[in-house]
Amino acid sequence: MPNTLIVGNWKMHNTISQAETLIRDIIALYQPHPTVELMVAPPYITLQTAANLLKTTSITLAAQNVCAKDEGAFTGEVSPPMLKELGCQSVIIGHSERRHLFGETDESINEKIRAALHHGLQPIFCVGERLEEREADQTHSVIQHQLQTGLARLEGKDLDNITIAYEPVWAIGTGKAATVEQATEVHAAIRAMLATHWDIDPGQIRIIYGGSVTADNAQALFQSPHINGALIGKACLNSESFVKIAQIATLDS
Ligand code: 13P
């Protein structure tokens, strides 16, 4: 079983001073656990502050996006080596907000995943269907396409360094989380698709769930053996609810 991963995706929240307060509060509340990894993904400009504060803790750091290029004339972009040197261990790639608001495609996501891996950053690769796709019974085909294209030209061993985040678009920021049955069903399907494609042990693939996770629904979700953690938006902006979700994860790991 992979370690449980609890990631706080801050999205575009918190200035540098606010980030400092939130990180300090998280550090003060959090009791580390050997099989649970706690990670924060603050905005680019607060990463350095977070990195300095987290240096002496077990809490790890992720960026919310990355450019596929190493350097060059790419105004406004941030490269994998920049994130690596800063102390990021991981990077969220293919979040539905990046796909739907900023036009990222499965192909550009694949470039980013390969670039991140090349530079020793562990991608948290987000997939998920929209409501109309679920209602049209297309959930599996949509996710299969996202996985096939997003993970193209990778080898089975690369999966050791990738976390898949299943984030149904209809559950993000809506307060309507997937039920444990819905999430388990899709996680099991993702596991089977990847294990078949690369002939790898399905139990070793880390698949976390995201979409309206709270301290109230986390326990039910984490009881599913297919759910290896959570990618949290709103509830990670409050240190108490974020750390509480991590503590709930320790009960089932
Ligand atoms: P919410 O937890 O606010 O629904 O956001 C989920 C998400 O998009 C995490 O990446």
| Segment 2-24 mean pLDDT | 97
pLDDT digits (tens, 9 = 90+) for 53-112: 999 999 999 999 999 999 999 999 999 999 999 999 999 999 999 999 999 999 999 999
* Rounded-to-integer distance, Cα 70 and Cα 15, Å: 27
Neighbours of 99 (CB within 10 A): 19
67 pocket-lining for ligand 1 (C-beta < 6 Å): no
Report which of 199, 175, 189, 177 is spatially closest to residue 226, judged by C-alpha positions: 189
Identify the band that residue 247 occupies on the pLDDT scale cut at 50, 70 and 90: very high
Domain boundaries, the chain: 4-251
Question: Given this model, what pLDDT does residue 14 score?
Answer: 98
172, 214, 237: which to mutate for ligand 1, most atoms within 8 A of CB?
172
What are the structure tokens assigned to 23, written together?
A: 């990180």
Tell me the percentage of the chain whose pLDDT exceeds 90. Answer: 98
Report which of 119, 129, 124, 130 is spatially closest to residue 93, judged by C-alpha positions: 124
Question: Given this model, what pLDDT does residue 2 score?
Answer: 87
The single-letter code of the amino acid at 36 is: V
pLDDT over 80 at 253, yes or no: no
* Rounded-to-integer distance, Cα 15 and Cα 29, Å: 21
pLDDT over 90 at 118, yes or no: yes
Q: Which residues pair with 61 in a beta bridge?
A: 40
* Rounded-to-integer distance, Cα 115 and Cα 110, Å: 9
232, 237, 238, 242: which to mutate for ligand 1, most atoms within 8 A of CB?
232
Using only C-alpha atoms, the chain has a radius of gyration, in whole angstroms, of 17
Question: Given this model, what pLDDT does residue 131 score?
Answer: 98
41 pocket-lining for ligand 1 (C-beta < 6 Å): no
Which residue's alpha carbon is at the smallest distance from atom 2 of ligand 1? Answer: 233
Report which of 126, 128, 150 is spatially closest to residue 140, judged by C-alpha positions: 128
The single-letter code of the amino acid at 221 is: L
Distances in whole angstroms, Cα of residue 196 to Cα of each of 37, 74, 159, 161: 27, 37, 13, 18
Question: Given this model, what pLDDT does residue 122 score?
Answer: 98
Question: Given this model, what pLDDT does residue 84 score?
Answer: 98
pLDDT digits (tens, 9 = 90+) for 192-229: 999 999 999 999 999 999 999 999 999 999 999 999 99
Atom of ligand 1 nearest to the CA of 126: 10
Residue indicated by tokens 């509340």: 29
For residue 36, the SS3 value is strand
Atom of ligand 1 nearest to the CA of 235: 2
Q: Which residues are catalytic?
A: 95, 167
| Segment 115-142 mean pLDDT | 98
Tell me the percentage of the chain whose pLDDT exceeds 70. Answer: 99
Please give the model's pTM, rounded to 2 decimal places: 0.97
| Segment 244-248 mean pLDDT | 97
Is the C-alpha dihedral spanning 194, 198, 204, 208 positive or negative? negative
Is the C-alpha dihedral spanning 202, 206, 212, 215 positive or negative? positive
212 pocket-lining for ligand 1 (C-beta < 6 Å): yes
Domain 4-251 CATH superfamily = Aldolase class I (3.20.20.70)
> Angle 180-198/139-150 helices, nearest 10 degrees?
40
213 pocket-lining for ligand 1 (C-beta < 6 Å): yes
211 pocket-lining for ligand 1 (C-beta < 6 Å): yes
Mean residue pLDDT across the chain: 97
pLDDT over 90 at 1, yes or no: no
Neighbours of 50 (CB within 10 A): 27
Question: Given this model, what pLDDT does residue 239 score?
Answer: 98
